[in-house]
Amino acid sequence: MKTLLILTALASLLINCGASTTASREFAISLPSARIESREMPTQREVLEKTKVVVLGTGTPIPDASRAGSSIAVIHKGNAYLFDVGAGAVRQATIARYLYDIPSLYPSQICCVFLSHLHSDHTLDLSELAHTLWWRRSNPLLAWGPEGISRISKAITDMIAIDADFRINGLQPVANSEGFKISDKTIEPGIILQQDGLSVEAFLANHGDISPAYGFKIVTDELSIVISGDTAYSDLIAEKSEDVDLLFHEVISRSGLKRNSPAFQRYHNSVHTTSDELARLATLARPKKLILYHGLFYGTEEAAVLDEIRALYDGEVILAKDLDVFSRE
C-alpha cells in the first residue's frame, strides 16, 4: 500500500513536470529527504539566472487533489518573492526547490510574501511559511498585506510562542532566536518594493465587498508580470496589464457559474471575473501570455474555460497547473 502511494505521488510529479510551458524536460525523480539548508546569501549562479515564475498553487477555497491554494513565486537574483500563500503552497515550494534546483524556494530561505487580500485561501500557509525551520532563518519573513496583516501576523506569532519558548529556552541549539517573528507591512497602492532591479507595485483590484484587495505588477530587467489576485473585471487591471509578458488572472467559468444557486451567482458575479469578461480584458490589454489560475469550475470540464475564452480572444491563453514554470523564452 505504501509503495503504491509513493508511486502515485511520483506519477503526479511527472505529470505536473510535463506541463511546464517553457521546457519539456524529463526529471529524474530523486528528491532529497530531510536536508537542512542554510545560506547567508544567494550563490553567483542564482544571481546570474533569468527571472523565473514558479506557480506553486492554482487552487481556490475548494479542496482540490491536484491544486494547492493560491500562490505564485517570482524568482529573481536568488530571492523568492511569493504572491499569496494558500494552503499547501509551502509544500509545493519544497518540491519546486528540488525539481528545478531553486535554493531560494527552500521554505526558510523564502524572504518575502505579498498578500493580495486576506481571504483564507490566500493566507492559510502564512504560518507554515514563517515558521517552518524558523530557528534557522537568517532573517524573519517579510510579509506585505492589506489592512489587517498585522493582526494576522500577531495571531500566528502568538500561536507559535509555545514552540518558540521550548526551542529557545530548552536544550535545542537555535541559530536565530528572532527567526519566528514576522516583519509585517501594510500595503498602500504604489511601488511597495524595489530590490536588486525588481520592483513590485500594488494596485487596487475589485473584489466586491472584500476591500481593499490588491493586484500586483512585478517588473524586472527582462520580464513584466501582473498577478490579479481575486477580482471582478477591472479596467485598472486591464491598464496595468497592457503588453505585459505574463498576466496571471483568476477566472470563473461562465458555464460553471450557472451551476451555482442564485445567491452564489450574485456573489461570484460581484467578486470574480467570468471567462467572457476576462476575454474582453485580454483583448484590451494584449498580454504576451494570459495565464489562468484560481479557476472556479464547479464540476465543468476545466478545459471548457479555455474554449470560452478562445471563442472571444485570439491571443495565447494557458490554464496553469501547479509547478508550471515561466521565463523569457
Chain positions contacting Zn ion, by CB under 5 A = 119, 121, 230
Shortest spacing between CB 213 and Zn ion, in angstroms: 7
Beta strands in 117-189 (DSSP E): 141-145, 182-186
Q: Which amino acid is at 266?
A: R
Q: Least distance to Zn ion from the beta carbon of 211, Å? A: 11
Nearer to Zn ion (CB atom), residue 122 or residue 240: 122
Q: Is 258 left (phi over 0), alpha (psi -120 to 50) or beta?
A: alpha
Of 62 and 155, CB closest to Zn ion: 62
Q: Are 139 and 111 in contact (CB under 8 A)?
A: yes
From the list 57, 50, 48, the residue with the least C-alpha distance to 22 is 50
Give the integer Cα–Cα distance in Å for 241 and 225. Answer: 8
For Zn ion, give the closer residue by CB, 121 or 125: 121
The x, y and z cell numbers of residue 279, run together, are 476575454
CB of 210 to Zn ion, least distance (A): 6
CB of 98 to Zn ion, least distance (A): 28
3-state secondary structure of 183: strand
* Closer Cβ to Zn ion, 122 or 181, answer by number: 122
Residues whose CB falls within 8 Å of the CB of residue 307, separated by 6 or more in sequence, listed in order: none
Q: What is the smallest separation between the CB atom of 183 and Zn ion, expressed in angstroms?
A: 24
- Using the minimum distance from each CB to Zn ion, give the nearer residue, 52 or 119: 119
Nearer to Zn ion, 230 or 245 (CB): 230
Query: Residue 198 has which C-alpha cell?
Result: 525588481
Nearest distance from residue 252's CB to Zn ion, in Å? 11
296 contacts 253 by C-beta, under 8 angstroms: yes
Residue 274 has what DSSP assignment? Answer: B
**Grid cell at residue 125:** 500557509
